[in-house]
Amino acid sequence: MTRGPIILFEGLDRTGKSTQTESLVDALRRVGIGAELFRFPNRETGLGKMINAYLTGGSLNDETAHLLFSANRWECKDALVASSEAGNAVVIDRYIFSGVAYSAAKGLEREWCVSPDLGLPSPDIVIFFKFKDTAKATERGQYGEERYEKVEFQKLVRHEFEKFEEESSGSWNVVYVDDKPIAEVAEEVWQIVGSVCEKGIEDEIRPFQWEFKK
């Protein structure tokens, strides 16, 4: 029995992840493929409300904040698995890699940052949105309203994401989004995921693991 693929969108702030995840879910449903969108952090849960308060100006030490974000992913695990097993394409806007990249950019050790997420459902496809110039994000609307939306910090985050990209041994799908029309990016995304969504996945959901390169 096939299941729906777990498709993860990662990238820096304001790279268009929210727009493209919504677009993909709509496109899949239009052609009769079930799809469900998960966003992290999920600000609707009890933990999510705490995260929202932190992101909009609250105070937590870095370790506590990191574990809170991870716990938010865990509290959504069962719903995510159930959706995939029901045959839906599960589309995720940010997930484990964002959690680690942002915390590592603040100076926390990568291996420690990954450890709370080991065992979560692993994505089948990762799409990494990038700017060739990180400063491009500042040209997009509402940039700078939340805690991490600072260009110098985003450069550190990009560096952490690129470590994951390198360690993925070519399995990440990189999409450069600089000055591209929304429709063009959506077409690139469809070329990556369309056939997989149509066929489904025969393998069971894998628990997340990661091999670091020293």
Answer yes or no: is pLDDT of 113 > 60. yes
Kindly state whether residue 124 falls inside one of the protein's structural domains. yes
DSSP string, 11-60: ESTTSSHHHHHHHHHHHHHHTT--EEEEESS-TTSHHHHHHHHHHTT---
| Its pTM surpasses 0.75 | yes
C-alpha–C-alpha distance, residues 8 and 24, integer Å: 11
Name the 3-class secondary structure at 71: helix
Kindly state whether residue 213 falls inside one of the protein's structural domains. no
Residue 112: name the closest of 121, 122, 123, 100 by CA: 100
Residue 201: name the closest of 147, 142, 122 by CA: 122
Kindly state whether residue 140 falls inside one of the protein's structural domains. yes
Quick one: pLDDT at residue 138?
52
Say how many domains are in the chain. Answer: 1
Kindly state whether residue 126 falls inside one of the protein's structural domains. yes
Kindly state whether residue 17 falls inside one of the protein's structural domains. yes
For the chain, give the percent of residues with pLDDT over 90: 80
Answer yes or no: is pLDDT of 112 > 50. yes
Quick one: pLDDT at residue 141?
47
Q: Do residues 73 and 99 lie in contact, with contact meaning Cβ atoms separated by under 8 Å?
A: yes
Residue 204 makes CB contacts below 8 A (sequence gap 6+) with 3
**Domain carrying residue 94:** 6-199
Kindly state whether residue 138 falls inside one of the protein's structural domains. yes
Residue 209: name the closest of 128, 111, 119, 75 by CA: 119
Answer yes or no: is pLDDT of 145 > 70. no
Please write the tens of the pLDDT for every residue from 56-95: 888 899 999 999 999 999 999 999 999 999 999 999 999 9
Cα-atom radius of gyration of the chain, to the nearest Å? 17
Strand-strand pairing, 89-93 and 6-11: parallel
Kindly state whether residue 58 falls inside one of the protein's structural domains. yes
Name the 3-class secondary structure at 125: strand
Band (132; pLDDT cuts 50, 70, 90): confident
Please write the tens of the pLDDT for every residue from 5-61: 999 999 998 899 999 999 999 999 999 999 999 999 999 999 999 999 998 888 899
Query: For the domain that residue 68 is a member of, what is the CATH number?
Result: 3.40.50.300
Kindly state whether residue 158 falls inside one of the protein's structural domains. yes
